Amino acid sequence: MRDREKARQRAKELVAAMTLEEKASQLRYDSPAIPRLGVPAYNWWNEALHGVARAGTATSFPQAIAMAAAFDRELMGLVGDAIAVEGRAKYNAHSRQGDRDIYKGLTFWSPNINIFRDPRWGRGHETYGEDPYLTGELGKAFVEGLQGEGEYLKAAACAKHFAVHSGPEGLRHSFDAKAAPKDMGETYLPAFEKLVKEAQVEAVMGAYNRTNQEPCCGSKTLIQDLLRDKWGFKGHFVSDCWAIQDFHENHMVTDTAEESAAMALKAGCDVNCGVTYLHLLKAYEDGLVTEAEITQAAERLFTTRFLLGLFGQTEYDQIPYSKIECREHLELAGRAAAESVVLLKNNGILPLRKEKLKAVGVIGPNANSRAALVGNYHGTSSRYITVLEGIQELVPEAVRVYYSEGCHLFRDRVEGLAWPQDRTREALAVAENSDVVILCLGLDETLEGEQGDTGNSSASGDKPDLKLPLPQRELAEEVLKTGKPVVVVNMTGSAMDLRFAQEKADGVVQAWYPGARGGKEIARILFGELSPSGKLPVTFYNDAGELPDFEDYAMKGRTYRYFEGKPLYPFGYGLTYGEVAVVSVSCQGRVFQAQGGNGDAPGRQGQGWQVTEPGEVAADIEKGLALTVSVRNDSPVATGEVVQVYVKDMDSALAAPGGKLCGFARVYLEGGGTKEVAISLGRDAFTVVNQEGVRTIDGSRFLVSAGLGQPDERTRELTGRGGIVFSVCREKNR
């Protein structure tokens, strides 16, 4: 168990020996050395969203949104641990050579636990999706894996961007995200609270924007009142990069750099990613900050450095360089890629049978694209396996693999002097000579990502709508006209308008950004070596016109909890090659059985919820509820699955109309296999958040659904299956 108090005392003693100038210098992200005290230089800025990033070779895991689609806490913990091991291996090697450059430290500014409330947001693929509960659970597992359980922190995680941040990217430096207390407490804050209270995340990063008028990196309300005083956060707070400069240049809440530095420091921001804290000494001279405030921030930062063991020996000092991209980590990345793939449509074409094929056509701008593998905030892989390469390696030599880029990712031609759509005829020739076509479409980090990091300058990294770029839409239309069987593989980090694929393609696969070697796992799934088992962590809408204004941070009309329309693909949805169903649920001594053997049930309750059996279970919901869910695979195909439990408050006007995810568990079933899964619902499953932002129990009757997706009409329409839905009433106090 780590001794924070001991680390704090050592930090206090060290900082006490520093001059004011030395203390202030340590509040920069690029903290200089203090040779007289034996303090080496340290750069706080490192990234590990889905692998150690921007510092050379490292294992490349699928992008965060892809790993979220696995709905797998254990996987996230293992990925976090692998990243920490590789981070330590790099740190050990670099520090021995005196290399203390950016991206070489052990303070990783990950995970991004903002809520992906709008699919147009370019950075949404850095998150774990649209649901606060899923985000909190996966974020907690990742942080615990990254930070480890040893005497010292294996690495320091950072929950970002606190607290209300999800676009628009082009406005973020001046934007005020207005969020009502109910939306704050129900949607934007829970994951941060969980990571602080339950995972003891070591750092929190503020957002660029303002939240309810206060700049996030200088918000007393967010940093001091909520994060430190109410939640008891003990770690350090870091600004987003150059965000404090925005106070006076864009938000216009201060007039000078000195005032901005003072505002951030007084609010509790300890380290400045940027240059504004270079003005701290002038702010001190002007009486805007005190030496005690500078000292306090420095002590917090050195507490973290002592917790990492950077001034002595630790159990991690001997982690060898050979752990980087080791076989164990590469296998884990493969598992993550496989679990993340979501099968959206299958008319029976999948899995493909190698023995029945003579030629496979692989078409599309993402078929052989390395950029489409890695998302953003990525490291370097020593090897990349695209979808094309994965298929080429998998099929027998007797099967011919034809390839055409088909079109440019977004421009109207591949060659600058050519006619528009200069690869279309080649693509059609490939289709005509193939038994089946794998059409690889989508985006990459040049079209969706962070402002300044993308080539999508007109939208600053955000998407203007949910449509694929026009050249890809035109290509898809032509290929789908050929009459050949077509499987669309969509490689994006966000929900897209895939109505054309759902209507006309034989199969549709959401492959996300699967990591540097992810093409291998996609090929294995297409050809049946593995069954797809991912579930959507976001809602796929039909069109952006169904959504509220992008700048509106109210949750009404957003995500599965509040969307009132019929989605293209619902949150939690995903097919497999097996035939898995929830067959029974045990709760409070009652056993609820699926009807008709597949979970379908009569008795409409609104929003698609249907009660499987009459009668109610009485429970003391203050103590939560324990379920045992039995699942059975009625096919010979082994597959992973995700059991999902949703709760709907039937009494409270404050409850989300679509219910909410309150429990999940990933299971693996052999062909014909049955398993029982224990899922515990905490008290929060039965709570609502009122207009003042206070979480409370406001109802006495609830519907609980245990299934393989939501209990909504669209999920049932797409899968032919429902879950088991039963009633729970609040047990009266005795």
Structure tokens that stand for 276 in this block? 């504004």
Q: Where are the beta strands (DSSP E) in 42-122?
A: 42-43
Cβ atoms within 10 A of the Cβ of 611, count? 20
Structure tokens that stand for 65 in this block? 């949104």
Q: Is 35 exposed, middle or buried (0-12, 13-18, 19+ CB in 10 A)?
A: exposed
Dihedral, CA of residue 561, residue 563, residue 565 and residue 570, to nearest 10: -50
Q: Cα separation of 569 and 542, whole Å?
A: 9
Cβ atoms within 10 A of the Cβ of 690, count? 16
Q: Cα separation of 118 and 166, whole Å?
A: 8
Q: Is 202 exposed, middle or buried (0-12, 13-18, 19+ CB in 10 A)?
A: buried
Report residue 159: phi and psi, to 5°. -85, 125
Q: Is 74 exposed, middle or buried (0-12, 13-18, 19+ CB in 10 A)?
A: exposed
Partners of residue 265 on adjacent β-strands: none
Helix (H) or strand (E) run with residue 400 in it: strand 400-404
Report residue 47: phi and psi, to 5°. -130, 145
Partners of residue 237 on adjacent β-strands: 204
Catalytic positions are: 240
Cβ atoms within 10 A of the Cβ of 94, count? 18
Reference 109, options 25, 43, 191, 185; nearest CA is 43
Partners of residue 238 on adjacent β-strands: 205, 271
- Cα dist from 639 to 98, 372, 706, whole Å: 49, 26, 19
Beta carbons within 8 Å of 721's beta carbon, 6+ residues apart: 581, 598, 599, 600, 707, 708
Q: Is 482 exposed, middle or buried (0-12, 13-18, 19+ CB in 10 A)?
A: middle
Q: Cα separation of 103 and 52, whole Å?
A: 9
